[in-house]
Amino acid sequence: MINKRILLIYTGGTIGMIKDKVKNTLVPFNFDELLKAIPSLKSEEVDLENVSIKNPIDSSNMNAEVWVEIATLIEDNYTNYDGFVILHGSDTMAYTASALSFMLESLNKAVILTGSQIPIGVRRSDAKENLITAVEIATSGKVHEVCIYFEDQLYKGSRTVKVNTEQFEAFESPNYPILAEAGVRIKYKKTLQKKEDKKLVVHKSLSNDVAILKFFPGITIATIKAIIDSAKGIVIESFGAGNAPTSTELSDLLNTANKEGKIMINITQCLHGSAVDGQYETSEPFGKAGVISGKDMTTEAAIIKLMFLLGQDMSSAEIKEELQKNISGEITI
């Protein structure tokens, strides 16, 4: 039997943290020590190797440069390994999963992000099970995309959000079914499909010229204008099924922003469901001002999609067209 080769990519995060005795805070520790802490990772069926990003970080410090570094590690090692497992802090894991989903075009191998809620050195840590199962999933040959594995569930990378800071069940995929469930056996769902075998294309250009505008009752026009003026691409988190205050000032502001070349996409603040064009009168200002409906995209996927498209050599019209397409499974068409 030919052993499967899996590359572990360590980025930092709670899974690899120890306590700094001086500062009394959690800091990343040497990745080789992490492997020593889980001897059961070693298997006759799996050749497991590891690499770390240059400077492991708390995931709150994640940024586009690190995403490019991770994507480049996958690109450089793509033909040498059967799958990849990325150890990552849970706080921004959904953003990184979305980013890699867009950046790794024609990916046809498993890229599984995992981590833990409790550091691996703590007795009750969830790290060991998460890591061992993530490696097993990566070797299965049944997954060919970017996913998050956490606490018995495998989620589509571009559909995942973090929903809990205190429970082991930290993530949800609110508008897309889970891809696998780990119990005594790992049960893979029918939604998993092997893709057409194409050459991997890695996109490394992302734009930070984006912002999020979240509506709340009583938000002022001055606040809305300041946020829209701050960036080229704006994700609007609106009420319910995609609604906004009925205000002539707001309509005028959105129309002006559209004429100035701003790219605006509207998603719902709700965890479940979709922004629907024209369902209520209060959604009319968006449609008339050229705001794109993000339908059932997560905030993470919407902001990353804007960063990705703004980083490409595209006109505003082309970006708006691409925003409405399903590029990496992030939107239900």
Predicted local distance difference test score (pLDDT) of residue 154: 96
Structure tokens at 98: 């979305």
Distances from the Cα of 4 to the Cα of 81, 189, 270, angstroms: 8, 22, 41
pLDDT tens across 122-133, in order? 666 777 888 999
What number of residues does the chain have? Answer: 333
User: Which residues of the chain carry a pLDDT beneath 50?
Assistant: 280
Structure tokens at 276: 């629907």
Pairing relationship of beta strands 146-150 and 153-156 according to DSSP bridges:
antiparallel
Walk me through the domains of the chain, giving residue ranges and CATH numbers: 4-202 (3.40.50.1170), 210-323 (3.40.50.40)
Predicted local distance difference test score (pLDDT) of residue 278: 59
Predicted local distance difference test score (pLDDT) of residue 72: 98
CA 129, CA 116: separation in Å to the nearest integer? 9
Predicted local distance difference test score (pLDDT) of residue 284: 65
CA 131, CA 125: separation in Å to the nearest integer? 11
Predicted local distance difference test score (pLDDT) of residue 97: 98
Please count the other Cβ atoms lying within 10 Å of the Cβ belonging to residue 316.
15
| Residues classed as catalytic | 14
- Which three-class secondary structure state does DSSP give residue 319? helix
**Phi/psi of residue 10, nearest 5 degrees:** -95, 125
Residue 251: partners with Cβ closer than 8 Å, 6 or more residues away: 285, 288, 289
The pTM is what? 0.92
CA dihedral 79, 305, 165, 31 (to 10 degrees): 30
CA 111, CA 101: separation in Å to the nearest integer? 9
